[in-house]
Structure 1
């Protein structure tokens, strides 16, 4: 890891503390234009997300109604009953997004893949930077809203399912992540600028509770509208 990657991880609580836990669960409220655009308005507006900290797995419950929950891994996504019975499943789900643009509607299974992939990435960051095969490089700092932010370029290996192979983190002087840029490959490589704030501390780990995602222009700057996705977390537990 680069020195900046180590600094970021330490600022969020450190690897030693993070590795004491195996799961993270939180109450999740979501909004923004994306869900209606994809034909899935209301499905995941108010739900609970649980992620595995030892492997890439995430679940949303309820998923649309109280009788369904999702199960996401890079190689398979499924919708399950409360009792755990498989209602629908899809192997190699990322391949199903071939040819998609930002406007292409999603099936329920595709929504489960996107939501699982996104929330697992968001909630394991920055500790994900220490995973095998992840490469990091510090870029030139930038000034945004009068604040100097250091930048870290991140390259992910093929075995980690995430928005895009190359992503960029913006961090403040203390090492906390303030912005996270990526291109959503499964939505036609749509560029996003993801703003992160309102940190809380759970089990010695600093976790942001507010996320706002906007389009990113060709100049690298965030556009003021539309609000693509809003994410608010509370009742966060690590176990």
Structure 2
């Protein structure tokens, strides 16, 4: 972990405090255009997500009316019933997205993979900067909304299932994350600008509770319409 990663992680509570916990749980209220585009409207409008902090695992419960919960483990995705019996399962789920464009519909397992990959990354950020194989470097300043932020380029290892290996994090003068950039490879390399805000402190860790994701142009500017995904996060707990 270099000095850039340490400064950002310290601003969010520090790695020592973070490593006291192995799970984060939160209630989600979600909206935006993506779910209907992918033929999965309403499934995850209201749900509770749990993610691991020490391994790549996430679960959404309930998973609409389709399953009691999902089970995301990176290289495997499954939907489970109330007795934890497997209803549907897919190994190497990323391969099922080959040839997809933004408008290509998803099946339930693809939705579960996307949602698990997303929330595992979101709730573990910025502490993923201390993960083995993750590297980051300063990419200069970025001016937006009348503020000057610092842009940090991040490279994730192939061992992690993330939207794209090359991403970016923008932090403000307090080193709090304000925006994430990535290309959603499993949705036709769709470029996203993901804004976060309304921070709260839970068990000594700083979490944003408001997330809004918009299309991103090649020059890095975000387009205000359409709102691709909205996520409001409540009742965060660590254990």
TM-score over 0.5 for the pair: yes
Distance 1:139 1:192, change over 3 A: same
Paired position in structure 1 for 2:153: 153
2:45 maps to 1:58: no
Aligned equivalent of 2:27: 27
Q: Which residue of 2 aligns with 1:233?
A: 233
Q: How far 1:36 moved relative to its partner?
A: 0.2
TM-score, scaled relative to structure 1: 0.98
Matching of residues 1-239 of structure 1 within 5 Å: 1-65=1-65, 67-239=67-239
Other structure's SS at 2:150 match = strand
Q: Unaligned stretches of 5+ in structure 1? A: none
**Counterpart contact for 1:12–1:206, Cα < 8 Å:** yes
Query: How far did residue 5 of structure 1 move?
Result: 1.5
Deviation at 1:13, TM superposition (A): 0.2
Q: Quick one: structure 1 residues 67 and 135, their matched pair in 2 at CA, closer, same or farther if it must change by over 3 Å?
A: closer
Q: 2:238 & 2:13 partners in 1: Cα distance?
A: 13
Moved over 4 A (4+): none
Question: 1:101-148 CA distances to partner (integer Å, 9 max, x unpaired)?
Answer: 110000000000000000000000000110111111100101111111
Which stretch has the larger CA shift, 185-194 or 60-69?
Answer: 60-69
Equivalent position SS for 1:120: helix
The root-mean-square deviation of aligned C-alpha atoms, in Å, is 0.9
Aligned residues: 239
CA distance in 1, matches of 2:38, 2:211: 20
Residue 2 of structure 1: CA displacement? Answer: 3.4
CA–CA distance in 2 between the matches of 1:16 and 1:66?
Answer: 39
Take 2:216 and 2:177, find their aligned partners in 1: how far apart are those partners?
Answer: 17
TM-score (norm 2): 0.98
